[in-house]
Amino acid sequence: MDLLTTFQQSVARPPRPDVRPGDTVRVTEKVKEGGKERNAIFEGLVIARKHGAEPGATITVRKIAFGVGVERIFPLWAPTVVNIEIIRRAKTRRAKLNFIRKRVGKRSTLRGELVPPEIGQVQKESQEIEVAKSTQETDSQKNQGEEEKAGDN
């Protein structure tokens, strides 16, 4: 096996959603200010994705803040990136949406459809899913027991 692929498999991270150019995303990132840590949220349009699915993959997100365009480049697999949530998905015919930089106002928005919440987020671990299923099963068993008691009265 190739040394690079061996390294990539050893440093495997939890899955991220399939982010494409044209998606409106909300990126949550850990920020250290002084001695404290907080989560900063950056919401905007993905105008570029580079390096595919490899560990060095990045996305460029653009938003308009107080009338000024702001762009940030986020490494997809950085430990500081806590969560990436897809809010809206627009169909585009370009891999890089650099032309959006020149557009102003309503022209800079892309038409798209809202993404259901279950598609927009990826669970951090499969254990959370298993725990949720087990709690749902116990809740349903409790509800059945209560219905039987109510039927006896």
Sheet holding 68-75, edge to edge: 68-75, 58-65, 36-50, 23-33, 81-89, 113-114
What is the token pair recorded at 69?
């365009």
Strands 36-50, 23-33: pairing kind: antiparallel
pLDDT (tens, 9 = 90+) of the chain, 153 residues, equals 688 888 777 766 667 888 999 999 999 999 999 999 999 999 999 999 999 888 889 999 999 999 899 999 999 988 899 999 999 888 888 899 999 888 888 787 777 777 776 665 554 444 444 555 555 565 556 566 665 666 655
Q: How far apart are CA 65 and CA 67, in angstroms?
A: 5
Q: For 4, which DSSP code? A: H
Element (H, E) at 133: helix 126-152
